[in-house]
């Protein structure tokens, strides 16, 4: 096994374990808000708090990576995420649970800013152009693959053993991730580290293009779908194997993420084989749009499942090629900062999603909201083509169009 593959697998393992803590809260908190007396707006704020924290931390995290390297920020970020997950347990026994949940989500966001900036930069550092899409797809899948396990954990374990047990188990897995990273992941990022400052934000066309596509996907998928699905199930009365809306939403969200993880691998591989990222990206953006249209007309659980799977496959198929597109067109010494810009815009979308969608579905219903989400991937495709053309002079640049290995 080559050194590069060993490093990529180590990153995948670490991010997989920490993904439990990211997924466990989604099937629980929207419904738990009623029990704890937390308003829908405050629930949305808690669900979005990690993304708003990352919004502040992403740019400094990217600059830090370009300045001091990847290993220390990667390990530190994973440990912070593990400790933050323990805050969910403390929240349940507190007289002010909303404050504890909010603080835990903010801490999670700070830790994940370090993890996301380093994971993709490590992969860009060790991968060659001809296999970069596949490597990015693998790491993106690793980052998200623990998430469906967390979704099922949050839905099922909370139904059977209680919410506290689900949160405690997620925290244990998250802390294991830090140990794995400390033992295995080496330093990979050696650049001119004196040139970057904490607020040195990459505003290049490739970084902004990838970031705006990321914005649209995170707004509609992680922002809108994940924060409204449990409520949609309650209104429609859909249930799976006798589970409540919480448990059923856990299974459905897990299915979307599993589909996304599988298609992350496929999308990255296809873009490597084709030697171009844009056609693959446009195909999967279209798939996500079709999935949201199916949610508009879903009148049964099977049709809802198909829609969720298409959305998951669409956003997943974009993941690997999009990060490879960014790495193809970005000089190595700026990859940390370019990743930070991409993450900032993604988190703006993911953070706005719950804040906008939860009050909006109460006002106008689910169908108009999901129909609007079907348009977002189409607009993202337009931005992608325009950005690629502006930077390279081609609407579909080859994988060797720019940047540096």
How many angstroms separate the most distant Cα atoms in the chain? 59
- Mean pLDDT of successive 10-residue stretches along the chain, which has 405 residues: 72 78 70 69 78 81 81 87 85 81 89 85 77 79 71 73 78 79 74 57 87 92 84 76 70 81 84 88 94 88 89 90 87 80 83 84 86 93 93 83 51
Report if pTM > 0.85.
Answer: no
Nearest to 188 by CA among 110, 131, 136, 119: 119
Q: Does domain 3-187+199-392 have CATH number 1.10.10.10?
A: no
pLDDT for 197 equals 60
pLDDT for 1 equals 46
pLDDT for 287 equals 94
CA atoms 71, 123, 325, 314: torsion sign: negative
pLDDT for 404 equals 46
pLDDT for 373 equals 92
pLDDT for 205 equals 92
Nearest to 381 by CA among 323, 318, 326: 318
User: How many CA atoms lie less than 13 Å away from 259 in the CB half-sphere?
Assistant: 21
Domain ranges of the chain: 3-187+199-392
CA atoms 368, 370, 375, 379: torsion sign: positive
pLDDT for 196 equals 57
Residue with tokens 């669900």: 47
Question: With contact defined as beta carbons under 8 Å apart, do 233 and 155 qualify?
Answer: no
């Amino acid at each position: 096994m080559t050194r590069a593959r060993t490093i990529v697998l180590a990153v995948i393992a670490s991010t997989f374990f920490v993904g439990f803590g990211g997924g466990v809260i989604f099937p629980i908190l929207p419904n738990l808000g009623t029990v704890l007396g937390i308003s829908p707006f405050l629930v949305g704020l808690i669900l979005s708090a990690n993304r708003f924290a990352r919004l502040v931390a992403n740019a400094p995290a990217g600059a830090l990576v370009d300045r001091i390297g990847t290993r220390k920020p990667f390990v530190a970020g994973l440990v912070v995420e593990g400790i933050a997950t323990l805050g969910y347990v403390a929240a349940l026994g507190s007289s002010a649970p909303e404050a504890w949940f909010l603080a835990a989500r903010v801490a999670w966001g700070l830790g994940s800013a370090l993890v996301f900036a380093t994971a993709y930069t490590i992969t860009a550092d060790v991968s060659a152009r001809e296999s970069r899409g596949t490597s990015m797809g693998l790491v993106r899948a690793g980052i998200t693959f623990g998430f469906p396990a967390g979704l099922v954990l949050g839905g099922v374990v909370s139904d059977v053993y209680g919410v506290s047990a689900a949160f405690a188990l997620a925290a244990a897995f998250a802390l294991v991730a830090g140990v794995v990273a400390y033992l295995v992941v080496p330093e990979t990022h050696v650049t001119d580290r004196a040139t970057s400052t904490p607020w040195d934000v990459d505003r290049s066309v490739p970084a902004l293009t990838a970031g705006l596509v990321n914005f649209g996907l995170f707004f509609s998928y992680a922002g809108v779908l994940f924060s409204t699905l449990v409520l949609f199930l309650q209104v429609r009365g859909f249930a799976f194997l006798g589970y409540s809306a919480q448990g059923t939403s856990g299974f459905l969200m897990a299915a979307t993420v599993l589909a996304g993880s599988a298609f992350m691998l496929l999308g990255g591989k296809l873009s490597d084989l084709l030697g171009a990222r844009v056609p693959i990206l446009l195909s999967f953006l279209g798939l996500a749009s079709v999935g949201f249209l199916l949610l508009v007309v879903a009148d049964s659980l099977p049709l809802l499942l198909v829609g969720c799977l298409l959305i998951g496959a669409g956003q997943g198929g974009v993941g690997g090629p999009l990060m490879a597109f960014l790495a193809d067109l970005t000089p190595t010494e700026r990859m940390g900062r370019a990743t930070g810009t991409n993450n900032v815009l993604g988190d703006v979308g993911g953070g706005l999603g719950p804040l906008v969608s939860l009050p909006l579905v109460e006002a106008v219903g689910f169908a108009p909201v999901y129909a609007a989400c079907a348009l977002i991937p189409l607009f993202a495709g337009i931005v992608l083509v325009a950005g690629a053309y502006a930077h390279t002079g081609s609407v579909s640049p080859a994988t060797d169009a720019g940047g540096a290995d």
